[in-house]
């Protein structure tokens, strides 16, 4: 039995991949309700309570950690959340597949790959580094089988809370100006959510992938401007792009905690941010969804939300 923690875009993508493979699963969130219109049975559990976490994960063979605290509460909640999941996975004798981002590497020079050290200077980067090191150490000590899949900024159907989410696509499909973080002519790797979910399931079902971190497949990295203009072309609208600097984030941060917490990660949008997924693609042969195909699916989904 596969247990998916979280019904956000990544949890739903993992669920979809397991369905395609005919694998048994159950999905867990804090409300017990599925966030969209489909009739999907969801188990309710507060993962900040270790006993509820153990109950939710009982009987699992593989657990997918696709859940995280609110962005502005990482410092106070993330470590405890992960420790509860670890204890629950141990109790169930289950393998753990953890989804992560790229924060732990900090302001790396050149292409970002899995062998880079964790040198993040930001608060959230240090949290990510600590969580990743804890998981990999558990595997090395034989206490828990762990594999990590890492993606960059999400986009795709159902992705709203991302730099390539509602802020970008909702105005774009309506032909309105699009506010974009940082510089437009730097390269930035984006991760298509369906590719991330598929990769996590592949990693979870590959015993000799455990004990390592893997960057999931991403299509060829283009500049932010090229990414937005291609999406606009597919939507049949003209791209009008408005760069957003740190000053605007600081103003937004007076009212929105998420905007305030995004300021320290702004470096990712000021210079090239290119992720290598060579290790994964050479091992598994899973290509990323072509950028135009992925963007077309994203545009179509957002059009249906208008």
pLDDT tens digits in sequence order for the chain, 306 residues long: 999 999 999 999 999 999 999 999 999 999 988 877 677 889 999 999 999 999 999 999 999 999 999 988 999 999 999 999 999 999 999 999 999 999 999 999 899 999 999 999 999 999 999 999 999 999 999 999 999 999 999 999 999 989 899 999 999 999 999 989 889 999 999 999 999 999 999 999 999 999 999 999 999 999 999 999 999 999 999 989 988 766 555 554 444 566 566 678 788 999 999 999 999 999 999 899 999 999 999 999 999 987
What is the residue extent of each domain of the chain?
2-152+191-215, 153-190+219-274+289-305
What is the predicted pLDDT for the residue at 243?
82
SS3 content of the chain, % helix, strand, coil (to 5): 45, 15, 35
Q: Does domain 2-152+191-215 have CATH number 3.40.50.300?
A: no
62-65 and 153-155 as β-strands: parallel, antiparallel, unpaired? unpaired
Domain 2-152+191-215 shares a fold with domain 153-190+219-274+289-305: no
Residues in a beta bridge with 25: 2
Q: Which among 5, 3, 305, 7 has a CA at the least distance from the CA of 157?
A: 305
Q: Which residues contact 298 (CB under 8 A, 6 or more apart)?
A: 155, 156, 157, 159, 169, 231
What is the predicted pLDDT for the residue at 247?
53
CB-hemisphere CA count at 13 Å for 261? 12
The answer to whether 266 and 181 have CB atoms below 8 angstroms apart is yes
Q: Does domain 153-190+219-274+289-305 have CATH number 2.60.260.40?
A: no
What is the predicted pLDDT for the residue at 254?
42
Residues in a beta bridge with 28: 5, 43
């Amino acid at each position: 039995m596969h247990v998916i923690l979280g019904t956000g875009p990544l949890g739903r993508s993992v669920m979809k991949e397991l369905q395609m493979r005919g694998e048994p699963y159950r999905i867990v969130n804090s409300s017990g309700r599925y966030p969209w219109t489909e009739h999907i049975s969801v188990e309710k559990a507060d993962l900040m309570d270790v006993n509820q976490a153990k109950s939710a994960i009982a009987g699992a063979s593989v657990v997918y950690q696709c859940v995280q605290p609110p962005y502005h509460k990482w410092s106070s909640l993330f470590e405890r959340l992960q420790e509860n999941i670890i204890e629950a996975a141990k109790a169930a004798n289950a393998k753990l597949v953890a989804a992560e981002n790229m924060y732990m590497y900090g302001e790396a020079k050149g292409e970002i790959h899995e062998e880079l050290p964790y040198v993040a200077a930001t608060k959230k980067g240090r949290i990510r580094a600590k969580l990743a090191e804890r998981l990999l150490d558990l595997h090395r000590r034989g206490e828990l089988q762990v594999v990590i899949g890492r993606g960059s900024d999400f986009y795709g159907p159902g992705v709203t809370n991302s730099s390539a989410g509602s802020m970008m696509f909702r105005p774009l499909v309506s032909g309105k100006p699009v506010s974009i973080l940082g510089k437009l002519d730097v390269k930035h790797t984006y991760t298509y959510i369906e590719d991330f979910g598929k990769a996590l399931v592949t990693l979870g079902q590959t015993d000799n992938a455990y004990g390592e971190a893997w960057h999931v497949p991403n299509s060829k990295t283009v500049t932010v401007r090229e990414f937005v203009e291609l999406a606009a072309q597919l939507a049949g609208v003209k791209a009008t792009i408005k760069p957003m600097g740190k000053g605007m984030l600081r103003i937004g941060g007076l009212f929105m905690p998420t905007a305030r917490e995004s300021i320290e990660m702004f470096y990712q949008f000021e210079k090239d941010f290119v992720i290598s997924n060579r290790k994964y693609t050479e091992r598994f042969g899973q290509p990323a969804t072509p950028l135009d195909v992925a963007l077309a699916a994203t545009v179509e989904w957002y059009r249906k939300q208008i």
